[in-house]
Structures are given as C-alpha cells and as structure tokens.
Amino acid sequence: MAEGKSKVKVVADNRKARHDYFIEDTVEAGIVLTGTEIKSVREGRIQLKDSYVSIRHGEAWIKGMHISPYKYGNIFNVDPDRDRKLLLHRIEIRKLFDKVRIKGYTLVPLRIYLKEGKAKMEIALAKGKNLYDKRETEKLRDAKRAMEKALKLTR
C-alpha cells in the first residue's frame, strides 16, 4: 500500500442527517467499542438513524446508535443501545462544545467507516433545516436531475 493512502470501508451512512440538517463542519472521531461490537460493525450491523452526539464532563458520547449483538458473542455481548465514548482531542471537544452552545446547532454522526482496521465516525456540526428548506433542497435536486437527463438525451 502506498504511503499517505489508507483503505477506507464505509460501514454505515446517515443519509437522513443530510436531509434534515445544514452541515457546517465535519470532524473525524474514534469510537470505543468492545470486542463483539467491532465484529458486528465489520459485518455492517449498525444503525445511525436517530443518533446524536452529546458532550458531558469534557467527553464526547454517541447516543442512540444501535449495534446489533454479534451472533457468536454469547455472554460477551453488551447492550446494543448503550452510550459509547468518542475519541477526540480535548481542544476539538472544547471547540465543538462552544459551537453547540449556540442556539440551533447540534452534533450529528454522518457515517461510520473502518480505516486501517479501526472504527471511525464522521461527526458534523449541523443546524436544523425548516420544512421549507427541505422542500427547496428537493426542488434543486430534482431540477439538477432533469437537466442531466436532458443533456444525456441530446448527446
């Protein structure tokens, strides 16, 4: 493998987050997982749908993320909906916390991927969209799709 290039395998993607929020900034964070949890993540048995990140006592935690129990885990499986600690530098956590205190901002997970064998999460600083913003985004996407289709037909 060439230097500077790492193999990344996307395990879970939170498409709903891009629909419901304006993404301002993104940060990569590690996740603290148990042995059976990482095996389930490698199998893609993870759900980010209603999860969010909270900061308490100077630590970042992911809440609402569901990792299905590993089928061969037996007694080593843990609660699939437990809160999991995120690995970020103290300065990054402080910057994110300062921005989240502003009204309307939240921390949302965008995707989970495996990078060099380790589970990583892309977190976004996001501001909620209103219903009319969602409609406008949908109109723009449909118009772009129609233009691409028209260009494809003229070729």
Domains of the chain (ranges; CATH) run 8-129 (2.40.280.10)
Q: Where is mean pLDDT largest: 5-14, 73-82, 103-112, 124-133? A: 103-112
Distance of CA 68 to the CA centre of its chain: 17
pLDDT higher than threshold 80 for residue 50: yes
Q: What is the CA radius of gyration of the chain?
A: 18
> Is the distance from CB of 88 to CB of 29 less than 8 angstroms?
yes
Helices (H), the chain: 15-20, 35-42, 90-100, 131-154
pLDDT higher than threshold 70 for residue 143: yes
Distance CA 91, CA 110 (A): 21
pLDDT higher than threshold 70 for residue 132: yes
Q: Model-level pTM?
A: 0.79
Q: Tokens in use for 129?
A: 């969209």
Positive or negative, the Cα torsion across 10, 16, 22, 24?
A: negative
pLDDT higher than threshold 80 for residue 15: yes
pLDDT higher than threshold 50 for residue 110: yes
- What's residue 1's pLDDT? 46
- What's residue 66's pLDDT? 92
128: left (phi over 0), alpha (psi -120 to 50) or beta: beta
- What's residue 4's pLDDT? 58
- What's residue 2's pLDDT? 52
- What's residue 7's pLDDT? 85
pLDDT higher than threshold 80 for residue 5: no
- What's residue 149's pLDDT? 87
Helices (H), 21-130: 35-42, 90-100
Distance of CA 73 to the CA centre of its chain: 25
Looking at every residue in the chain, the average pLDDT score rounds to 89
Altogether, the residues listed in the chain come to a count of 155
- What's residue 106's pLDDT? 92
